[in-house]
């Protein structure tokens, strides 16, 4: 290949990459446009939103909408603050994520290293549960929570999300453990290690990547859930239900700046989770992608 041909190929490759990067940047900007609109208008007085351009930067910067969205302060019309409901979401999300992740790890361990007759059928049924719509389980779940005395409580919401998330957590850990050498488990058994000792000392220490995937997935789904929170929350409603109440509580003139601030406040926890652990999400998915 001549030098001219090589230079032409290199130049064409650079142009192609530049075009691809510009296209990706354009898509990213388009995708982030709603976040920009929310962020800009959440620090504007309401008069600049109703009588101006929502895309423009604030002429007067103010944090009053954020205070109103968080602590029930009022700007002209009634607003329901998110502060009392933030703790409800934390008390619901943290135990639900921890419990569903741990039980999913145990299920994956049993279904791959302690196989029993019918284990494939059990896994198939749990996999099927991942595709059951939320609406189908509302009435049966309400009956169960009522019988257990957990209706309208945070423990009830924890139970709902643990049960609904077990299918996904089991799927993640089962596929991950399927690629783990069974010979190590057998060797540990020969050395006298029992069920839980093998799990704690051998399987769990190497489960970091898939545990991060499970935690991110469960945290995002549970934190952003509205249907279960509205149906079973009662007086202990989570953040997403409170955000809906915040929007619906405005009468007359809508306080869009307060609504935008509330939406960002409700999204901050999941955003932090992805910023901190997002890079491990894809790694964990790839680590668990080996067919078992």
Could you read off the pLDDT of 136-191 as tens digits, one per residue? 888 999 999 999 998 888 999 999 999 999 999 999 999 889 888 888 888 888 88
Regarding predicted confidence, which is higher, 95 or 237? 95
Mean pLDDT is highest, among 86-100, 172-186, 188-202, for 86-100
pLDDT score for 291: 47
Here the tokens at position 279 are 């890079």
> Whose CA is closest to 178, among 218, 217, 210?
210
Residues of the chain with CATH 1.10.3720.10: 83-287
Q: Which CATH superfamily is domain 83-287 in?
A: MetI-like (1.10.3720.10)
**Each residue of 19-43: pLDDT tens digit?**
999 999 999 999 889 889 999 999 9
pLDDT score for 75: 44
Do 74 and 68 contact (CB within 8 A), yes or no?
yes
**Each residue of 207-256: pLDDT tens digit?**
888 898 899 999 999 999 999 988 888 888 899 888 888 777 765 667 88
pLDDT level of residue 79 (50, 70, 90 thresholds): very low
> Whose CA is closest to 48, among 64, 59, 37?
59
Q: What's this model's pTM, rounded to 2 decimal places?
A: 0.83
Phi, psi of 257 (to 5 degrees): -65, -40
Share of residues in the chain with pLDDT > 90 (%): 26
Do 260 and 246 contact (CB within 8 A), yes or no?
no
Give Rg (Cα) of the chain: 25
pLDDT score for 50: 80
> Whose CA is closest to 86, among 285, 277, 268, 249?
268
Please give the distance of CA 254 from its chain centroid, rounded to a whole number: 29
**pLDDT of 93 over the 90 cut:** yes
SS3 255: coil
CB-based burial label for 32 (10 Å; 0-12, 13-18, 19+): exposed
pLDDT level of residue 4 (50, 70, 90 thresholds): low
């Amino acid at each position: 290949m001549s030098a001219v041909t090589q230079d032409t190929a290199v130049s064409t490759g650079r142009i192609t990459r530049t075009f691809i990067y510009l296209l990706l940047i354009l898509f990213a900007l388009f995708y982030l446009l709603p976040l920009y609109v929310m962020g800009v208008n959440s620090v504007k007085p309401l008069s600049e939103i109703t009588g101006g351009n929502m895309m423009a930067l604030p002429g007067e910067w103010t944090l009053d909408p954020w205070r109103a969205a968080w602590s029930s302060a009022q700007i002209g019309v009634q607003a329901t603050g998110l502060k009392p409901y933030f703790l409800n979401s934390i008390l619901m999300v943290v135990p639900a994520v921890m419990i569903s992740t741990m039980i999913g790890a145990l299920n994956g361990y049993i279904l791959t290293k302690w196989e029993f007759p019918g284990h494939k059928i059990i896994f198939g049924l749990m996999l099927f549960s991942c595709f059951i719509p939320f609406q189908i389980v509302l009435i049966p779940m309400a009956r169960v929570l009522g019988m257990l005395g957990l209706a309208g409580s945070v423990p009830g919401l924890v139970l709902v999300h643990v049960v609904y998330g077990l299918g996904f957590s089991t799927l993640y850990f089962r596929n991950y453990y399927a690629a783990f050498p069974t010979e190590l488990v057998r060797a540990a058994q020969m050395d006298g290690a029992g069920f839980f000792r093998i799990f704690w000392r051998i399987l769990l220490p190497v489960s970091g990547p898939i545990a991060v995937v499970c935690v991110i997935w469960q945290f995002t789904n549970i934190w952003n859930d509205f249907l279960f929170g509205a149906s079973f929350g009662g007086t202990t409603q989570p953040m997403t239900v409170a955000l809906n109440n915040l929007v619906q509580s405005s009468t007359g003139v809508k306080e869009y700046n307060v609504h935008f601030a509330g939406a960002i406040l409700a999204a901050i926890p999941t955003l932090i989770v992805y910023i901190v652990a997002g890079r491990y999400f894809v790694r964990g998915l790839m680590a668990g992608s080996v067919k078992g």
